[in-house]
Amino acid sequence: MELSEILQPEAIKVFSKLTSKKRLFQDLGEVASACYGLELNSAINALQERESLGPTGVGHGVALPHARIEGLDRVVGAFLRLETPLDFDAVDRQPVDLVFALFAPAESGVDHLKALALVSRTMRNADTCTKLRSNTDAATLHAILTSAPATKAA
């Protein structure tokens, strides 16, 4: 599995400022709906339900919200770069500016976990995050993510 299989270039957006985690989930749902045909409210509700189990802010300005969705046939992703970091209740209490969301089929099991591990490895790479924070062009961000050293699954 590679990030290029999960993340379409159109599923990458840059936002100057979001006011809340709820608004962030709304925007992620809109991206997923437009790019992958997900039902908007289902995507938003699934992200909020998963977040209620515990924050998906993994530290160092990165959040990895993820959810399982009925009717989805494969794992898909959306990436948001926030120009103004957002409080996300991250484990290190730092605000988040890089958000990689995953949407997986309800019964995906191993594929969901593999995709989450892949995204996690990629977003733990400090050089990759520095490059992402230095760019605002969606095509450039897609190229950085899909060519990052950690993008191949073990």
Task: Answer yes or no: is 42 within a domain.
Answer: yes
Task: Answer yes or no: is 117 within a domain.
Answer: yes
Which one of the listed residues 60, 66, 112, 142 is annotated catalytic? 66
Task: Answer yes or no: is 107 within a domain.
Answer: yes
Task: Answer yes or no: is 153 within a domain.
Answer: no
Task: Answer yes or no: is 28 within a domain.
Answer: yes
CATH number for the domain including 73?
Answer: 3.40.930.10
Task: Answer yes or no: is 152 within a domain.
Answer: no
How high is the pLDDT of residue 149?
A: 66
CA distances from 87 to 23, 28, 62, 67, 133 (A): 12, 16, 11, 20, 17
Number of domains in the chain: 1
Answer yes or no: 66 catalytic. yes
How high is the pLDDT of residue 154?
A: 43
29 CB contacts (<8 Å, ≥6 apart)? 38, 40, 41, 43, 44, 47
Task: Answer yes or no: is 46 within a domain.
Answer: yes
* Separation CA 85–CA 59 (nearest Å): 12
pLDDT by residue, tens only, the chain of 154 residues: 788 889 999 999 998 888 888 899 999 999 999 999 988 899 999 999 988 888 888 888 999 999 988 888 889 999 999 999 998 887 888 999 999 999 988 887 787 788 888 888 998 999 999 999 999 999 999 999 998 765 444 4
User: Which residue range is the domain that position 120 belongs to?
Assistant: 3-147
How high is the pLDDT of residue 145?
A: 92
In the block, tokens 């299989």 appear at: 5
**Interior angle at CA 42, CA 78 and CA 71, nearest 5:** 85
pTM over 0.75: yes
Task: Answer yes or no: is 154 within a domain.
Answer: no
* Separation CA 39–CA 35 (nearest Å): 11
- The H or E element containing residue 49 is helix 40-53
Residue 53 has a CB neighbour count (10 Å cut-off) of 7
